[in-house]
Structure 1
């Protein structure tokens, strides 16, 4: 028996619900190519337990005409005869032959297989062209057209708890928390002060930098400066800046956040740029910020730079990663215990790793 017929449109609508923000390689699991792949699996019955398998050819030779023919005979004919040279699929093909690689390598191997949505036939050699992929039965059930409303939501949640790893679920939870609707984002500072920022992804990341990053990676953290869109003086601590000798009143080109670690003998100044869509620590930005600390008489060994993102899957990270300056760090709200270091070949960076080594040896 074939699974119930379901349109590619319905699959496209459900994939982002099943694989929410924070899911590893989410784009590979939710884009149109993923919907096309899942559709083809359901169309031919390549579902766990049926001993029917899909190859990329089933996806890239599909057409709108064929896909709209939902009768069982048409579906079985497409499954059985597609690889025969004489078989003609009516209509215009969805994709060209060279789409087999992104279907196989991205959508399947790096996307749906990683998150436990698809299984791979173990007895087919890697070099073989035989079909080898099938949709997990419990995931296939989520595309039943009769499943809707609260029942669909409950079934999706049950699948996520069963199949997404603990770290993946944690990333999903953090991303969901960041996008929850509320009137402003309340930020609690290390000195006990609070400030409410306007709602938005940048404010969510800023909150995480102040409350999570600073506590994790600095000994005695303080916040000298916090800005937000449309309000560049959301939280200037001029007294703290004055104590350490940093003049921020005269500066007009400050970053989103300036943190300070008062734990070391020589305070560490951490410039942080928050990226929801754009605005990372680029080499030009790095030099402009060094000019501020150089003028204040700070050694460059007392200065570190961090670009903060929501998640590695976020569009802002993908857009800006190639422009990040060497000798800086990247930090992700969804994976708060980790840092990415862009090592520039200096034997011992004049930056945050001096203090990380003492507290949490993430960097060798």
Structure 2
């Protein structure tokens, strides 16, 4: 089955495809984002080379957060789908086996909005297919996402690749007038929503809009002044551009030469107040990408190639919240010798390690 996507991330991508200032909001609402996640969970994606799994609106409405978060194997997903298509009693029986209460995200009374507005408009835009030959009032499962549309919600599709895929889909599936409206809405949104970061030296940098940029902003403006003695931001890497944000004098003073075309963390911050200088390698997790053991090894290799002593490297994975879906899903994968920090709890951090650390321990 396809990789699962967090509903909030699905909603964000829908808003990029169908900006709310230019399109009906039912195309990119929170319920629409939930629908994408639920349909992909159930495998309701058109497959012209194999039997397609079709869904009802209740496939979306009856889905719940605990199932999306904790019952994610292919076997679990197939079992949930079969039970949901049989009816609420069968679904409740399965959830009882799993130790879950049935806590659907949406009430059945909202099925008309989903079916007659969101699904219908997606169908008109070529994003969704309705099984032909059945009356509109049929109770049989009749809906599935088109493959090319579902491909846009692969969580592994990020950054420039995602932007390119979204632009290509818009060019292929929207009429000229719709494309123009989408383009203008994107330009206005970018101008209004760009994230401004105040660096420790007072310099202001503008980052692309998005949750990842907001997390980085908080790392720079909130975490760094609390955790470090004399922080200097050396790099911030964005989907659209990899930026060196420190001047050459600082880089030269610490003997550092950065290759932005190689593997690059979301941010690199040096603590010039430490002796020797410590280099904090930081990843901001808006949907995925924490510093795991394997990612830590890759980053150490990258740092060594930049002339950074690996003994001076520190690692931080930043999340929006402990309760956010990416944190619930990926905290278990944190690499040894790394910290996790949360924007909404700025005075605390979690450390995963093999020993009780001092304030700034050496990485093992």
Q: TM-score, normalised by structure 2?
A: 0.48
Query: Could you state the TM-score of these two structures normalised by the residue count of structure 1?
Result: 0.48
